[in-house]
Every structure is written in structure tokens, then in C-alpha cells.
Structure 1
Amino acid sequence: MPSSHGWWVPEPLPHGTRVWHYTSPASLVGMLTNLEIWATECTGLNDLSEVVGGFEYMSQWFGQRPGSAAASLHTLCAPTGGTVARAQEVFIVCASLNGDDAGQWRLYGGVRAGYSVELDPGVSLGVISRSADPASYPASARRPRSGGTLWKAWGQQASVAPWYPVAYSDAARERMLSDLLTWANEVDADYERAASDPTLDPEERDQMGQDLGERFEDALCTAAALIKAPGFSGEREARAVVNAQLRTNHEEFRATGHGVVRYVRLATGDGRGLVQPEHHPGQTLPVRSITVGPTPYFEAQKSTLEALILRAGFKPSAVPVVESKVALRR
């Protein structure tokens, strides 16, 4: 579809913002050994109501707005539209703007030890996959699509969005959804103008309609992943959102306390959203520091982590190990 408006991109974190990903000892070792971080499907979150609640909130919000774009978005948000199925196409990495927070240590730090890994939100992430070669996909899955600041190609797309702040308040949600609706109205107008061309082939018109629906669904899934109840606002969460179509080419599976969930693996990307081959040359993560959670054994942990950091290919001086200032009872 000819359009200069691309794919919807929410307002990212302000420049210079710092984010920390809280994790357990096992996950930290995996991150630094494999130089990858995992984005979990939204339905694998601790609280599934986060995503479902996001769609329900947007359904009500768009249902109160006029226009064909708002009506389309409202329909796509409806529970009968397959909310859970669409949520399975969205994968997220969670982080916090708080690098040393008692609540986060209790929830995500593990039983006796935990870490918060500072990641540079200014560095793009990309999906890594065993099936990264576009030649491995059928011809129909290799049609390039471009627009805005994201790039997608069927079968090889991995649109890892920048880090976005979670919208807890009505005011934050209003800003985000108003921006989404403005974009949707522009894209919808482009579609109407193009589709009204009497010389347009019916197959091309159908394809344009499918593209429009895909853009809308992509935007809604991203927004749903960024809506969370006000009671969690103390977490000051930020999320990197992955919309992975044809996800079966890239997804992995792991066992959790909630059952089997999907995830995709991320590493530092190329800025274009291309899927990257597994263990490609130069694979790394934008790690800036590691904070050790409350423990009486910080010095022992520090020396061990510095050895792990060195093994991962980082200079220990470039990734300092920091001691938590929180006095949790252990």
C-alpha cells in the first residue's frame, strides 16, 4: 500500500534514560554465556490480565471515537477477535527505570540472589534465529515491506521496537492511543484514496486491505503490551516489544511455573529489524552494568561476575559490578 506513514511507533523513552532488567542467577549466566536476552510471549507473563486488560481498555476507548479507522480498531480489539491468539504474536522484555528497588528484588531476584542488568535503551535489539536465511522461506514469504522507522520482510521480519515506557495512568494511555488513532486515520485515508482507483487490480486491492489490517493489528498488539494497571506504577516499567509474524520460524519454548511458553532470543541488532543468524559474528548485548541484589557476599559475587563478564567478551571496566544499597532481610 503506498503510504508515507509506515508502521505505528509509540513515543520511546527520553534520550539518556537508563533501564535495568531484573533476573535470577541462572538467567544471568544464560544471558552472558549466550549473549542473548529472551523476550517472552505476552500470554506467558505472570499476569495474563495485563494483555487482555489492555485490549479491553482499547476496545472501550476506540469505541467512543468517531471515524472508520476507530471503528476498525475497536472491532480488532473485541474479545471475539481472538485477543489471546493475537497476544501470542507479541513478545516482550521487561525492565525498570529503577536499578536498585526492594520490590523488584523480592519479585524477580530469585530465592537468595538476584541481579539487575543495565541495558542501553539507545541500542537496537534484533531477533536471532536458527531460520534466519530468507532463502529458507517460500517465495510468497519474502515480499519486502518498508515504511517509517521499522522494516519488515515476510518470514525474516523481526520488528523489535525501541524501549517504551509502560502507560499506567489514564493520561499516559490517552496520549499513546490518541497518537495511535492519528496515525491510523492517516493510513486509512491513504488506503481509501488508493483503493478508489478504478484501474486497480482486484487482487491488489485485496492485498492493500490485508496490509492495512496487519498494520492495525501490529499497532494494537504493541499498545496492549504497554498498558498496565495503575497499582503497578511503582515498578516504573519499560518494555521492548517484538512483533513476530511467522513466529514459528523464530520461536523457542521453555517450561515455567505457568506451563510451556514461547519466547524469542534477542541480541544487539542492526537497526533495520532483520532476523539475525544464530551465533553470528559480533553477536553481543548492550550491557552497561550489573547490580548485585542484597547479599552479605557481595565481594565474592563481584569477583565471580567479573570473570563471567570477561568470558563474555566485555572488559570488566566497561561493565562495572555494583552493590545494592537495599537492606533486605535474608
Structure 2
Amino acid sequence: MALPHNPTFNAGTDLVSEEAWPVGTVWHYTTAAGLAGLVGGKVLWASAMAFMNDSQEMHTGKAVFDKLLETHAGEVDPHIRENFSYMVQAALRNDRYRTFIACASRLPDSLTMWRNYTSEVGFAVALDGTKPLLMRRQRRITEKMIGAVGYHGEESRQLVRELAANGSADFAWTPAVYDPAEQYKSAYAALRGIEATALARAESREMDRHELDAIADAAKVLPTFKNPAFRDEAEMRIVCGTGIHVDLMHLKHRPGRYGMIPYVELGIPEDRSQGLEDEPEPMADLPITGVVVGPTPYPEEARVGVLELLRSHGHETVPVIESRIPFRS
């Protein structure tokens, strides 16, 4: 198969090998419908954590933090225990229904991923994982939405308007942590960071980090912990969320095995400063750098179909590779 020139990969190596692709490449496994959404819709879905395939999502991380708190509570300075406890509980209070996760893998041709995340024929889409993604604004915020939050003071309502105007934060790909020792180490460091901040405040010293930053650091660690049973997935994930006061700008719903699943769309807005009217904000192309066609009895037809899809959306130079894993009916 002749491959077009593309500087993003090393054509002299096996293209279904992780080593053939630039550091930071992530592979999102999906169905044909998902591929069409990535290429044509220019967005990646991030589903609410409560609806992930691992039923213990969030519980894994919380269990690690709870164990540390149980075994090391005596190490915390008595003068700051109340504030320390408050900050820790704030970090652990992640809403599983408003924390959204998009999943990928470091591996371009994984039997585990083909089995778990694709259908009759699946696709692994290579994305440049060094480029952060943002939550797509689906609708402009209205005064009715602001009023529903419950804020009555004009100052508070104006803050909501400003947050809505700023749009989404940048969200980066992060590796899932499977090793219990690494989970323990990361959780311990996060708790020590909270302790240091609480102690500096109690002693009226200048804090290296603001309390909210220390809480946020711990809250970001929590969703990266994953049950070791899923280690074969070599998962990379984007964990994102939005405040309850502006979540309706981003939120969508789709049917799934649990009923209605809340999710958000991730991508790269064409113009982050552009005002929003009644349509979702325009998105630029996702940083797609390759596609692997999964095991199928019709590899050539599947490959050509992907090439045509890519070509129709201006991705003529994106390589399409066939899986090396044999199809079994």
C-alpha cells in the first residue's frame, strides 16, 4: 500500500507500532458512526463519569484517598485539621454526573480495545495528544438560565455572564494510573500539598498555592486512578467539567445502556472569542494524524471507505492502515 507523504509518522517502521508515531499520539477507538463524528462533526465525545464502562470510576480514587486519610490522620498538625479536612472533602466531592471523560489509548492496534470499544468494524483514530481540547459551547447562556441557578444579586449574575463569555478551559490528555503504589504516591503528594497550604494560612504566611488551587490539584488526581484490571487498555484520558452555573451551555444527552447519558463535545473552536447565538459554536478540524482499520473480513473496502471520508473533509494526507490482528467470526 502506498502511503502519502506525512511528516507525522515514520514510514520506515511498522505503522501499527506505538513507536512509529510521535510522542503524545493517542488512539481513540470507535465505531463507524463515531469516526464520522470525529471527521465530519469535528468533535470527540466525553461522557459523564457515572456512565463509564468501569463501574468503579471515581470510587477507585476515593478509596485510595480514604485509606491515606485513615492511616495518616495523626500526621496532620492539630491546628489545621479542621481546615485540612474541609479542603480534602471539597476535593473528593467531584460530581460523577458533571465530570466528563474522553478515553483513548497509547496503543494503535490493541485486541482488548477492539473487543471492548468497537462493533462489526472498528477504527482507532490517531490524535495529536499534545494539543489540548475544549468543551464546545452548544448554546448561548440566557437570563432564564442564570435565574435558574438561584443567584439574585446582580454581581453574582454578572460573574456567571463573564464565565460564560470566556468559554471552556483547555483540557489535556493524561495517562490513567493503574499501579496501586503510583496511585498511593500521587494521592499522598496531593494531600501533602493541601496540608502545606492549610498550614501556611494558619500561620499567616504567604501561600505557595491558593487554597482553591491546592483543592483543584487533588481533584484532578482523583479521576486518573483506574482499577488495575483495566491495565491492558493503556488508557489516556481527558477529564473535564464545568461549573453548575454554566453547564447548560455545554451539556448534551444521548441514549445509551443506562438510559440518557449526559456528555459534552470536545474540540478546537474556530474562534474562542466569537459570541454565540442560537447554533453550536463552529469548530476547526480535530488534530487527526492517522486511522487504523480494525479486524474485519472486508479490510480493503473498509480502508477505502475511510480514505473517501477523509478526502471529502480535506484530510487527503492522513494515512489509513489495516490492523495486523486477524479477524475471527
Question: Which TM-score tier does this pair reach, normalised by the shorter chain?
Answer: 0.7 to 0.9
2:242 aligned with 1:244: yes
| Structure 2 counterpart of 1:64 | 71
2:172 aligned with 1:162: yes
The structural deviation recorded for 1:224 is: 2.5
- Could you say if the C-alpha distance between residues 183 and 77 of structure 1 is closer, same or farther in structure 2, counting changes exceeding 3 Å? closer
| Structure 2 counterpart of 1:114 | 122
- Could you say if the C-alpha distance between residues 182 and 73 of structure 1 is closer, same or farther in structure 2, counting changes exceeding 3 Å? same
Contact conserved, 2:137 with 2:167, CA < 8 A, in 1? no
What TM-score do the two structures reach when normalised by structure 1?
A: 0.74
What's the CA shift string for 1:67-102, capped at 9, x where partnerless? Answer: 346533543477xxx66xx12221111111111011
Q: Secondary structure of the residue that 2:103 maps to in structure 1?
A: strand
1:143 and 1:187 mapped to 2: Cα distance? Answer: 26
| Structure 2 counterpart of 1:37 | 44
The structural deviation recorded for 1:170 is: 1.9
The structural deviation recorded for 1:108 is: 0.6
Sequence identity (%): 23
Q: Secondary structure of the residue that 1:122 maps to in structure 2?
A: coil
Paired residue type of 1:324: S
Residues 111-260 of structure 1: matches in 2 within 5 Å?
112-131=120-139, 140=156, 143=159, 153=163, 156=166, 158-189=168-199, 191-192=201-202, 212=211, 215=213, 218-246=216-244, 247-260=247-260
1:101 and 1:288 mapped to 2: Cα distance? Answer: 18
Structure number with bigger Rg: 2
Contact conserved, 2:27 with 2:107, CA < 8 A, in 1? yes
What TM-score do the two structures reach when normalised by structure 2?
A: 0.74
Q: Secondary structure of the residue that 2:316 maps to in structure 1?
A: coil
What's the CA shift string for 1:245-302, capped at 9, x where partnerless? Answer: 132221101110122111011112699x989956545622111111110013222122
Point out where structure 2 has 5 or more consecutive residues left out of the alignment: 1-21, 147-153
1:279 and 1:127 mapped to 2: Cα distance? Answer: 11
The structural deviation recorded for 1:175 is: 3.4
Contact conserved, 1:21 with 1:95, CA < 8 A, in 2? yes
What is the RMSD of the two structures over their aligned residues, measured on CA atoms?
3.4
Contact conserved, 2:64 with 2:183, CA < 8 A, in 1? no
2:106 and 2:191 mapped to 1: Cα distance? Answer: 27
What's the CA shift string for 1:6-58, capped at 9, x where partnerless? Answer: xxxxxxxxx82321011111111122221101111101112331222322222
| Structure 2 counterpart of 1:5 | none
Contact conserved, 2:139 with 2:280, CA < 8 A, in 1? no
Point out where structure 1 has 5 or more consecutive residues left out of the alignment: 1-14, 145-151, 197-210
Q: Secondary structure of the residue that 2:305 maps to in structure 1?
A: helix
Paired residue type of 1:113: V
Which residue among 89, 94, 97 is the counterpart of 2:103?
94
Contact conserved, 1:158 with 1:243, CA < 8 A, in 2? no
| Structure 2 counterpart of 1:268 | 268
Q: Secondary structure of the residue that 1:116 maps to in structure 2?
A: strand
1:275 and 1:41 mapped to 2: Cα distance? Answer: 27
The structural deviation recorded for 1:125 is: 0.3
- Could you say if the C-alpha distance between residues 161 and 63 of structure 1 is closer, same or farther in structure 2, counting changes exceeding 3 Å? farther
The structural deviation recorded for 1:216 is: 5.6
Q: How many residues align?
A: 285
1:42 and 1:36 mapped to 2: Cα distance? Answer: 18
| Structure 2 counterpart of 1:9 | none
The structural deviation recorded for 1:219 is: 3.8
- Could you say if the C-alpha distance between residues 119 and 299 of structure 1 is closer, same or farther in structure 2, counting changes exceeding 3 Å? same
2:274 and 2:182 mapped to 1: Cα distance? Answer: 32
Contact conserved, 1:98 with 1:236, CA < 8 A, in 2? yes
